[in-house]
Structure 1
Amino acid sequence: MRKATVPLAVLGLLLAGAGTAQAAPADGPVPPGLVALGNPEFTANAMAPLKVTDWADFEADLDAVAAYGVDAISVDVWWGDVEGAADNQFEWDYYDRVFEVITAAGLDLAPILSFHQAGGNVGDDYTSLLPEWLWEKYAGRSSQGVHLDEYGLQHRSEQGNHSRESVQGWADRLVMNEYRDFTRAFEDRYGDRYAEDVVEVNVSLGPSGELRYPSYNQHDEGTGYPTRGALQAYSPLAIRDFQETTLARYGSLAEVNRAWGTDLTSRDQIAPPEDAEAFFTSRAYLETQYGRDFVDWYNGSLVDHGERVLRTVIRTLGDEFPGADIGYKVPGIHWSMTHPVHPRATEVTTGLIQTSVDVDSWATGHGYQRIVELANRFDGGPREVVVHFTALEMDDQDYAPQYSLAQTLVQWIGDYAHRAGVETKGENALAGGLYSEEGWDNIEEAFAGWGYLGLTVLRVGDVSEGVGARRYAELIATYGPQR
């Protein structure tokens, strides 16, 4: 159990700066403030490398961060590495070693059930593809009346490209048993050995382990930072689900036509935007009933996918790892937010916000209400479900071409989560911010004013010495954990 010990000089600086950190628009609520201060739920974690190759360096890094109070190490447990060879054949030797090394350093474990691909994203220095047998196993199956081909489990974008980084949520009813089997195998292997050492099980819900669509990933052209990205709703399963959801909402095709101002003659004509670029440049995604309905379905499908996978993992774990929370990661998609043509568009293509609500209102979490309140769908359950939000180290860059409100977004999420009763912890988006005094100032502001309860840094080697080690140690000392 932690005891709060707050150096007065450091606390004075935080409180002095909290007036700035807590400033909110006139129509906004009073910001949460120093929620983490003296809170036993405060945690300070660090991520392991995507794959440890230099064990001596890794052990030295662990010793360094353990010495100043880091709690646990977050470790990707790659589906493609463990079960890549064949269905239901699991290889755990690497994780036997990495978990042993971490716990020998006096650190706890925060494993990530990584149902996504490693490689192909910013900072990735390791590649682990999803199991090849997975795509082959489900080719030829049918779901929702859709016959699947070799791409059947994959997202399909507005450009017609397929992504193999994670399984699309519209295929959950087919592959949920795969997530269950992997979780059960993990629990069978480590449930007794590390029953008291696992403090959180983080669950991958999409590419990069984040609850989002692969809207700015490498399978599409011209969709990287800081563009609007690309919609990922064009697979046969996605289209069928959109049709069924729309007809269930309106009751008949005639009522769909009445609401949308269309003259559709067949349910098969209910479809994602035919011209996605025009969908955004015309502001149809914000200003038409069709556009708001489509975005609501797209966002809702993502949140429902998150619930299904989290619930499966929680049920499968049962009573194992009794002290472990369940975590899911929400990315800070901070660019294109104030774009003069299509504001908030990248948050739409990644599936993070609704547009049927006021996206400028604190009352709706600026559109993030459903994503954040996913955690509350598990109230009264056996485990606390925690949100991890990225980009705590970043500044606003509200100018072309970024049109970024990264720091503002951190405030929106922290504020809304606090009011919704959701435990929220933070991460840095990129390692570079850990080498900057300004980056750490932004992290401290998130804790001082906006209700964040913990931090996981990317990665342990970035905070084992230098600015990262000094500033992380100061943050940990301020918020009270003493071993």
Structure 2
Amino acid sequence: MDDREKSRSTILESSRQKRVPLYVMMPVDTFGIDASGSPRIRKIKALTVSLKALKLAGVHGIAVEVWWGIVERFSPLAYNWSLYEKLFQLISQMGLKLHVALSFHSNRRTSSSGSGGVSLPLWILEIGEHNKDIYYQDQNGFSNDAYLTLGVDQIPVFCGRTAIQCYEDFMFSFFNKFDSFIGNVIEEISVGLGPSGELRYPAHPFGDGRWEFPGIGEFQCYDKYMMEDLRMAAAQEGKPQWGDKGPQNAGYYNSLPSGVPFFGEGEEGFLSDYGRFFLEWYSGRLIQHADAILAKAANMLKKYQENKRTTVILVAKIGGIHWWYWTFSHPAELTSGYYNTAYRDGYDPIALMLSRHGAALHISCLEMLDSETSPAYLCSPEGLLEQIRTVSKKRTIHLIGRNTNEQFDKAGLCQIYANCYHPKAVVRAFTFFRMNDKIFRVENWKNFVPFVRKMSTDLVYLET
């Protein structure tokens, strides 16, 4: 039996009897910056009380974002893990496990405090002040400093290092520092692959006024590094004219699909020779980006996974882009980098890549119903989840679930439970998004605790 067959056997065996561990993600404002500019843990006493309450409720573990912009904040290769040493020790002492999210993005625009949150490392921002092309750019030249463009993955513009080398060095330092925790306290390690930690382009920027739901978004390939790559790909295709720019008929952030030629089925649309070429390139580069980073992480995890006394799994997140799902072109997914249409399964190549690294696929939307949004937007979180279940089963990879929005009512929690224990694919774990004051309010806590207890019940599930 080869390694792939062993992996498949393990996954199928584990799916016959399943308990879904529930992790609760730390508050978005867990970390603050003190007067000296150094990061600190905010409200440590209140956090300690909250962790005790969650443990008593039956929560399995805590999901913690480990920010690049905190640990390597001031200068290259100068890692300060003291904040996380303290936090991990506290969580461990409570008897809780850890899902660690290595976060190479910024959450400044998505944090509840608006201008607060965690930026990319300060020395990265300094480089960005002189070279805006280290960030993704849209067709109008607006850059997004939430994550580095994949165009610099192999370009040594970061004090002699490429972006991939920066990520690799950070992960190597993390594994060295928390060696004794990995596989014992730390059971899941997700690696950030894009904005919000998800494998996607920032096609729908939140918080800066450019995009609003249900806009189709814009392609993000206009930094000079990605444009050079596009020119090379077009030349290899024998169509150098295709490398001058991205699609010029693909609308704008808040366009709707109707009337946007590229997302129609005409001669200038996504089904044209040019459309297929561009979308193959755009989505393919995203998969190559994830492949390169996950290969580094998987290699570092190997020794822990070979040790039968420890349990740890590699995780990759994708975005739950569910609006316009019932159109032929799936425009919101295409601009995000998922070449998923009515004629092509865009998630299967991602699942295949994850299977090579033994990585689980982390997907949100588990609390959502199609009926919760206007029929005019042709949304289908349920259809998206069904497609993800199908490809995960085909490629024998684990699924990990998460809710997109706060959910405390019984109906929403029941929907999460139903999706976690779906007959077609039971998730390996679920991350509740996220811990805050609301969760402990009496009216919410009385729903949340029974939900946790129910999730913690052993169930028998037989493959059909």
TM-score range, shorter chain: 0.7 to 0.9
Match of 1:345 in 2: 331
The reply to whether residue 280 of structure 1 matches residue 250 of structure 2 is no
1:307 equivalent in structure 2: 291
Deviation at 1:478, TM superposition (A): 5.0
Partner of 2:36: none
Once the two structures are TM-superposed, the CA of residue 213 in structure 1 deviates from its matched residue by 0.6
8 Å contact kept, 2:232–2:243: no
Q: Which residue of 1 aligns with 2:403?
A: 428
Letter in 2 for 1:44: L
Aligned residues: 409
Match in the other structure for 1:146: none
* SS of residue in 2 equivalent to 1:393: coil
Letter in 1 for 2:120: L
SS at match of 2:66: strand
Residues 220/128 of structure 1: CA separation in 2 closer, same or farther (3 Å cut): closer
Cα shift at 1:211: 0.7
Q: Which of 86, 104, 114 in structure 2 is aligned with 1:97?
A: 86
SS of 2:426 mapped into structure 1: coil
Instruction: Describe the superposition over 1:260-281 as per-residue Cα deviations: whole angstroms up to 9, x where unpaired.
Output: xxxxxx5585431133314435
Counterpart among 399, 408, 413 of residue 440 in structure 1: 413
Deviations 1:148-207 (A, max 9, x none): x61121101123210110111121112111111111221222113556211111101000
Given that 1:426 and 1:452 are in contact with CA atoms closer than 8 Å, whether structure 2 keeps it comes out as no
Whether the 8 Å contact between 1:273 and 1:279 is mirrored in structure 2 is no
TM-superposition CA deviations, 1:124-164 (whole Å, max 9, x none): 7751110131254588xxxxxxxxx6112110112321011
Correspondence 1:393 to 2:378: no
Letter in structure 2 aligned against 1:275: N
**Contact residue 29 and residue 117 of structure 2 kept, 8 A:** no
Residue 109 in structure 1 maps to residue 98 in structure 2: yes
Which amino acid in 2 is paired with 1:345? P
AA at the equivalent of 1:280: F
Q: Percent identity?
A: 23
Instruction: Return the match for 2:205 from 207, 211, 217.
Output: 217
| Cα pair distance change 1:231/1:122, threshold 3 Å | farther
Summarize the Cα distance change of 1:199–1:227 in structure 2 as closer, same or farther, 3 Å threshold.
Answer: same
- The partner residue of 1:50 within 28, 31, 42 is 28
- Given that 1:331 and 1:391 are in contact with CA atoms closer than 8 Å, whether structure 2 keeps it comes out as no
Contact kept in structure 2, 1:80 and 1:130, CA below 8 Å: yes
Kept after mapping to 1: 8 A contact 2:28/2:111: no
Q: Distance in 2 between matches of 1:268 and 1:343?
A: 20
Q: Normalising by structure 2, what TM-score?
A: 0.80
- Shift of the alpha carbon at 1:88? 1.5
Maintained 8 Å contact 1:338/1:344: yes
Query: 5+ residue gaps in structure 1?
Result: 1-31, 140-148, 257-265, 379-383
Match of 2:39 in 1: none
Q: Which residue of 2 aligns with 1:368?
A: 347
SS in 1 for 2:449: helix
Q: Deviation digits for residues 284-318 of structure 1, max 9, x if unmatched? A: 44321111221121111111111111112233455
Alpha-carbon distance change, 320 to 449 in structure 1, aligned in 2, over 3 angstroms: closer
Partner of 2:384: 409
Distance 1:286 1:195 in 2: 45
- Aligned counterparts of 2:51 and 2:93: Cα–Cα separation in 1: 10
Paired with 1:279 and 1:247, the residues of 2 have a C-alpha distance of 25
Question: Which stretch has the larger CA shift, 307-316 or 95-104?
Answer: 307-316
Instruction: Tell me the amino acid that sits aligned with residue 163 of structure 1.
Output: N
Which residue of 1 is the match for residue 277 of structure 2? 293
SS of equivalent to 2:303: coil
User: What secondary structure does 1:311 align onto?
Assistant: helix
Please name the residue that 1:271 is paired with: 245
Report the 3-state secondary structure (helix = DSSP H, G, I; strand = E; otherwise coil) of the residue aligned with 2:17.
coil
Q: Deviation of residue 247 (structure 1)?
A: 3.3
Superposition deviation, residue 456 in structure 1: 0.9
Match of 2:452 among 464, 467, 472: 472
Superposition deviation, residue 34 in structure 1? 13
Using structure 1 for the length normalisation, give the TM-score: 0.77
Change (3 A) 1:420 1:136: same
1:68 CA drift (Å) = 3.9
Cα shift at 1:354: 3.9
**Structure 1: distance between partners of 2:409 and 2:187:** 29
Does the Cα contact within 8 Å between 2:330 and 2:340 map onto a contact in 1? no
Compare relative contact order (CA 8 Å, sep 6+) and give the higher one, 1 or 2. 1
- Structure 1: distance between partners of 2:459 and 2:59: 12
Give the aligned partner of residue 12 of structure 1.
Answer: none
Q: Equivalent of 2:343, from 341, 352, 358?
A: 358
Aligned alpha-carbon RMSD (Å): 2.8
Any unmatched runs of 5+ in structure 2? 1-10, 31-41, 155-161, 252-259
Select the residue among 158, 162, 167 that pairs with 1:179. Answer: 167
Residue from 134, 138, 149 that aligns with 2:124 = 134
* Residue 38, structure 1, aligned to residue 11, structure 2: no
1:170 aligns with 2:151: yes
Q: How do residues 217-256 of structure 1 correspond to structure 2 at under 5 angstroms?
A: 217-218=205-206, 221-248=209-236, 250=237, 253=238, 256=239
SS for the counterpart of 1:200 is strand
The question of whether the paired residues in 1 share the 8 Å contact of 2:182 and 2:312 is answered with no
Structure 2 counterpart of 1:160, from 111, 131, 141 = 141
1:449 maps to 423
Residue 328 of structure 1: SS of its match in structure 2? strand
> What is the Cα deviation at residue 475 of structure 1?
2.0
Q: Distance in 1 between matches of 2:50 and 2:93?
A: 13
Cα separation, 1, equivalents of 2:340 and 2:383:
18
125-134 or 197-206, larger mean C-alpha shift = 125-134
Determine if contact 2:102/2:190 at 8 Å carries over to the other structure. Answer: yes
SS of aligned partner of 2:377: coil
Work out the CA distance in 1 between the residues paired with 2:375 and 2:181: 52
Deviation (angstroms), 1:79: 0.6
CA distance in 2 between counterparts of 1:195 and 1:409 reads 31
Letter in 2 for 1:205: L
User: Which residue type is aligned with residue 49 of structure 1?
Assistant: P
2:152–2:163 Cα contact (<8 Å) kept: yes
Distance 1:238 1:117, change over 3 A: same
CA distance in 1, matches of 2:399, 2:183: 24
Give the Å deviation of 1:375.
1.1
Structure 1 letter corresponding to 2:370:
D
